[in-house]
């Protein structure tokens, strides 16, 4: 089994994916254990002093003015976890919970939180045992970080609340810890607060969305090329010289991907042989690299923000290298929230342009000789008419999901936390957007491959032929009379979602970006 070693200097997106989705085993480095011990000594020394220190010997948030006596401090730490574990609604996906737990451990291991090494080890043990706390959809405002989701995870470390075991069954967390031989933690000064105060949920969802979108943008370049081919369009707009004079990196990548798919096609530029040749293709075809490329560049910016956050130690207060323990605002989720919203906007536009291309394939007035709705016997058969309805409904939802969550703020904690990021909400809607985008691209692929097969007597590009053959082998049916369409669309969705579309094309073109 793959092992991820957690040190003091953050982690990588690859490690987050390995833990969240691949169940990678986690180990704490010797460097991290030493840093944890050093920081804990500082916290213990401050706890012994009569002067109040926020998070160590005081209440929290709007209650920070109260000095807490030593005999009540363990209760204080337990209470903050219990009271903040206030989520409601459906359960959050297992991979999201594993990502946020791992990322909280990443910050704890930095040595800036004052948490004891034994608590960090328990966090690793719980993840390694396949125990996943039950976290709910609603409760985080993205400031101070993802408080409620992280509180439900901390509650499980204490042996309280519910969690999912390695068998997928939800049971009391205490039972699962006992079966795994894990002792529940007894929190001491600052530890409850340190387990709750971070951007870990929204960051984990950002990392996974970037991984998924990276694959989807390549798939979208492929489906755009298939549609261009099916519409007898021209690949001349993909020439690298054209994209070099507007040097947005993503645009050039998308154009190169499309050109690779269309190499040696017998369909492109066929319009030159028509009675009324086209001068140029519609925007949804001609500008595909510009739109997808802008999305790629948005992803690059989001990945930069994610890399910075993955290297960060997010807590309040923090233990500084010189021994000071200082209050700060680093838990605010704005940097992460903004890029989550940017990605939702780009994904909505990519879905929108894909739907416009699909509609063009189905309209006999704009498809340049294809049968209406790609039907076998139009009038008797409806073909893919309602597949486009489904795609349009998905696009409409994508547009709603593109409304920025981070443009909103709602005050909390008696106006102490009077400006919040809503980053968790941005991340949750982005996950839905990515899911919907997959379906939208799958429907374009389904329509474009059928349209190419209806161009009798013309030879598609080798990469297109490979895509069509792989799709048909995967149960994505080709042209023919009307049939129960939902299973075909589900098969197309699975084909794109699994990466099989990209794999099939790359078997001919070599690696695409």
Q: Of 201, 278, 198, which Cα lies nearest the Cα of 237?
A: 278
CA torsion 89-91-95-100 (nearest 10°) is: 50
Q: What is the DSSP string of 351-374?
A: HHHHHHHHHHHH-TTTTTSPPGGG
Helix H, strand E, coil C: the string for 290-318 is HHHHHHHHHHHHHHHHHHHHHCCCCCCCE
Interatomic CA distance for residues 363 and 369, integer angstroms: 10
Chain-centre distance for alpha carbon 29: 28
Element (H, E) at 98: helix 94-108
CB 254 within 8 A of CB 217: yes
Q: What is the DSSP string of 51-73?
A: S--TTTSB--GGGTTSBPPGGGH
CB 35 within 8 A of CB 110: yes
Q: What is the DSSP string of 436-505?
A: HHHHHHHHHHHHHHHHHHTSTT-PPPHHHHHHHHHHHHTT---S-S---HHHHHHHHHHHHHTTHHHHHH
Place of tokens 């389904």: 446
Burial class (CB in 10 A: 0-12, 13-18, 19+), 30: exposed
Strands 162-164 and 25-28: unpaired
- Give the pair of three-digit tokens for residue 175: 């039972």
217 labelled catalytic:
no
Rg (CA), the chain: 27
DSSP-derived letter for residue 336 is: H
Scanning 231-333, the segments in alpha helix (DSSP H) are 240-244, 249-262, 283-286, 288-310
CB 435 within 8 A of CB 208: no
Residues labelled catalytic: 54
């Amino acid at each position: 089994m793959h092992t991820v070693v957690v040190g003091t200097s953050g982690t990588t997106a690859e490690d987050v994916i390995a833990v969240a989705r691949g169940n990678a085993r986690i180990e704490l480095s010797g460097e991290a254990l030493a840093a944890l011990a050093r920081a804990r000594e500082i916290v213990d020394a401050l706890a012994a002093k009569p002067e109040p220190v926020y998070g160590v010997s005081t209440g929290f948030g709007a209650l920070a003015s109260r000095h807490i006596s030593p005999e009540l401090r363990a209760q204080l730490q337990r209470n903050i976890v219990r009271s903040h574990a206030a989520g409601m609604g459906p359960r959050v996906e297992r991979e999201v919970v594993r990502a946020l737990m791992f990322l909280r451990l990443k910050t704890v291991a930095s040595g800036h939180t004052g948490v004891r090494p034994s608590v960090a080890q328990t966090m690793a043990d719980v993840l390694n045992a396949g125990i996943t706390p039950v976290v709910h959809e609603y409760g985080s405002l993205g400031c101070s970080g993802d408080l409620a989701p992280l509180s439900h995870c901390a509650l499980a470390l204490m042996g309280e609340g519910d969690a999912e075991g390695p068998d997928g069954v939800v049971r009391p967390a205490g039972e699962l810890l006992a079966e795994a031989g894990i002792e529940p933690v007894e929190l001491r000064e600052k530890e409850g607060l340190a387990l709750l105060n971070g951007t870990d949920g929204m960051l984990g969802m950002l990392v996974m969305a970037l991984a998924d979108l990276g694959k989807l943008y390549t798939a979208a370049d492929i489906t755009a090329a298939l549609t261009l081919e099916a519409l007898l369009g021209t690949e001349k707009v993909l020439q690298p010289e054209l994209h070099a004079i507007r040097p947005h990196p993503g645009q050039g990548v998308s154009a190169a991907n499309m050109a690779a798919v269309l190499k040696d096609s017998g369909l492109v530029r066929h319009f030159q042989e028509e009675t009324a040749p086209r001068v140029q293709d519609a925007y949804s075809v001609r500008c595909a690299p510009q739109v997808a490329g802008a999305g790629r560049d948005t992803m690059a910016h989001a990945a930069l923000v994610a890399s910075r956050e993955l290297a960060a130690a997010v807590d309040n207060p923090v233990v500084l290298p010189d021994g000071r323990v200082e209050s700060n605002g680093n838990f605010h989720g704005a940097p992460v929230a903004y890029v989550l919203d940017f990605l939702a906007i780009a994904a909505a536009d990519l879905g929108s342009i894909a739907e416009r291309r699909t509609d063009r394939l189905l309209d006999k007035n704009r498809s340049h000789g294809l049968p209406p709705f790609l039907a076998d016997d139009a009038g008797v058969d409806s073909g893919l008419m309602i597949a486009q309805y489904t795609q349009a409904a998905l696009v409409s939802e994508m547009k709603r999901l593109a409304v920025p969550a981070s443009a909103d703020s709602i005050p909390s904690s008696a106006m102490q936390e009077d400006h919040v990021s809503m980053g968790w909400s941005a991340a949750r809607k982005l996950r839905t957007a990515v899911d919907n985008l997959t379906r939208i691209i799958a429907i374009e692929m389904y329509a474009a491959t059928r349209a190419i097969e209806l161009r009798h007597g013309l030879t598609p590009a080798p990469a297109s032929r490979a895509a069509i053959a792989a799709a048909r082998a995967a149960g994505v049916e080709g042209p023919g009379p009307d049939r129960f369409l939902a299973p075909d669309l589900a098969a197309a969705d699975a084909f794109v979602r699994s990466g099989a579309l990209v794999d099939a094309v790359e078997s001919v073109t070599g690696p695409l970006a």
